[in-house]
Amino acid sequence: MPARMPTDAMKLSRPTLLALLLGTIAGFAIAVSSGVLAGRSATRDKLPASDVELLAEVMTRVKDEYVDPVGDHELMLHAIRGMVSGLDAHSTFLDKREVEDLRIATEGSYSGVGIEVSYDRRMIVVVAPIEGSPADLAGMRTGDVIIAIDGWAVAAAGIDDVVSRMRGEPGTLVRVTVERGDQDPPVEFTIRRAEIQVQSVRHALLEPGYGYLRITHFSETTARDVDAAVEQLRSHSSGRLTGLVLDLRNNPGGVLEAGVEVADAFLDEGVIVTARGRTPEARFTVEAKRGDVTRGARLIVLVNVGSASSSEIVAGALKDHGRAVVMGRTTFGKGSVQTVLPLSDGQALKLTTSRYLTPAGTVIQNAGVTPDIVTAKSPLGDLDGPQHTEGRAAVVDPAADPEVARALAWLRSAAQPRVAAEAAARRH
């Protein structure tokens, strides 16, 4: 159905801007009538004429007075990006290239430096480098604040502009400048981009009956890889596991469904996660299916401030059900769900549509998961975890990591099941 321009907007003096705005609103009407929004109410609040005039006035000033010429299409794209990214740190407009980048990333393969970033208080903050990635090998750390890429200051940039500049053809170099705590001057890394083919699951047998399982991020293959890793650990331990250390430190998250599937792998029943949103699709509850991949082995989960998103879903679900004891430091606190909504011409919106809660109703956003056992800063670094140890081994030796050694000792302790049960009882 064609859109109507508010009558007061006819006072606008520039025909080109008026036509542009008419086209924009018509585009909105087309989107509403498309399959993306099918079934929802066609009733929409009319855009106030004063807001239309303000947008036109700003565009006029920019077109007339900005230092470089800029076209209407470019300005409108900037307006769309600003509108969406202004909602929160994780919502964004995606062009065709960015949609493809997102598709590749969820499949666990892309070309870049291998780092997860977040927009926090107008700063681009490193959540965690992916283990074994060029950024990890170069020495970037959780908590680093990115201030420049190839000399381009990121102060006024959006998170997607920053990510786009760090992506590139394999083998090409990119300079990333960061501020690190109170360190002065800033630290600059020259990183050679690579095709990031990251195995999200690593494992090792710590000693007979006790395994170590590290998940570096959550992709479409993670749950399947977890099943295979546990089966290998069991076969290397005379067919039975007594205890398992699940290491989620510096795991930045990834695919929501993968996190749910991993939590389900260790649970026989109960709610895994609940999501709250405005639309029916954004409100859901996921429950575990019967079947524990470890067959009842004791479980302890390691987390830190670099554990985010899907990592927090897993840690929160296992903690709330008393299935595992969580050890470490409070997690990052990203408790929102982003949905990719297709638009015309291969573009999309990545829009925050839900906020999730743990089975006990705990809100994760800006709060994180609080461990059952809070550990002091590790000699290896409070935020760094095993992937930043000397040599960056795929699987850490517990003798080289006090937290893994402490977790192993806890698993051996007869007190572990009792403490987990008491913690679960307090939460229900």
Question: Which residues does 121 contact at the CB level (< 8 Å), separation at least 6?
Answer: none
Distance CA 164, CA 182 (A): 28
Sequence-distant (6+) residues with CB within 8 A of 195 are 109, 110, 111, 170
- Burial 79-102, CB ≥16 within 10 A → b, else e: ebbeebbeeebbbbbbbeebbebb
Phi/psi at 356 (nearest 5 deg)?
Answer: -105, 160
Task: Give the active site residue among 144, 160, 225, 320.
Answer: 320
Pick from 304, 290, 287: nearest CA to 370: 304
Provide the pairing of β-strand 243-247 with 271-276: unpaired
Angle at 417 between CA 411 and CA 423, to 5 degrees: 115
- Give the H/E segment covering residue 35: none
**Are 228 and 114 spatial neighbours (Cβ–Cβ below 8 Å)?**
no
**Cis amide leading into 129 (omega within 30):** no
Exactly one of 219, 237, 307, 309 is catalytic; which is it? 309
Give the three-class secondary structure for 287. Answer: strand
309 counts as catalytic = yes
Out of 101, 118, 334, 354, pick the active-site residue: 334
Helix (H/G/I), strand (E/B), else coil: 264:
helix
Q: Is residue 34 among the annotated active site residues?
A: no
Burial class for 403, CB neighbours closer than 10 Å (0-12, 13-18, 19+): buried
Tokens 């509403």 label which residue?
32
Catalytic residues: 309, 320, 334
